[in-house]
Amino acid sequence: MARGLAHRLAGSLGRHPAPPTPGSLPMRPHALVCVPFLLLAAAGCASPAPRPPAPAPDDVVRAAQQRLTDRCLARRGLTPPRPGDRPPSTAERDRVARALFGTGRTELSLRLSTGHVVRAHTDGCLAAAQRALYGDQKRWFRVSTVVNNLEPEAAAAHRPLPEVRAAHRADLTTWRQLRARALKNAEAVLREDGPTASRKP
């Protein structure tokens, strides 16, 4: 196949030109010389490949949180779950869930204006990761719960969403501050471990 391609290429570029007559200039060899020259010129003018876009802040924080929870689970002798892994036994899955989300009475609780109550533990690997990233798990739990439920609150109260957001301006400010802190800490976590350390304890 390679030989056939070579023959086709030779034929298309004129590897066997007619003998030049005295005093005439062979034209095809000039064409052969110009083709590499043009290719080199084009290659020299080519712009570098664009850099891949930076990951979104949410993705950075999410990756660092997973890195931290993986470490925590590994310290407890548990294997972090991954898509595509062999399904664990029911007992192993329960052990991972308890270690990840905490056990016993929920220490954090917030009743929303819609009437729903949201609860969370402070003793699991997820809570530890949130403290490492946001600095204050209790504050993050409260403001993130409120901010994540502004649309349901507006629907339940039959109020425009901008009006509800304006009423929670202080919560939104705190939410942004804690997110900025989490992003900074998340970048430090990912730099510390490197891109391939997601399963390290």
Q: Summarize pLDDT for 32-62 with one digit per residue, the tens.
A: 444 544 444 555 555 677 777 888 999 999 9
Mean pLDDT of the chain: 80
Strand, coil or helix: 60: helix
CB 133 within 8 A of CB 68: yes
Both tokens of 11, joined, read 């034929």
3-state helix, strand, coil in the chain (%, to 5): 60, 5, 35
pLDDT at site 52: 78
- For residue range 126-140, list pLDDT tens digits in order: 999 999 999 999 999
Strand partners of residue 119 = 109
Domain ranges of the chain: 57-193
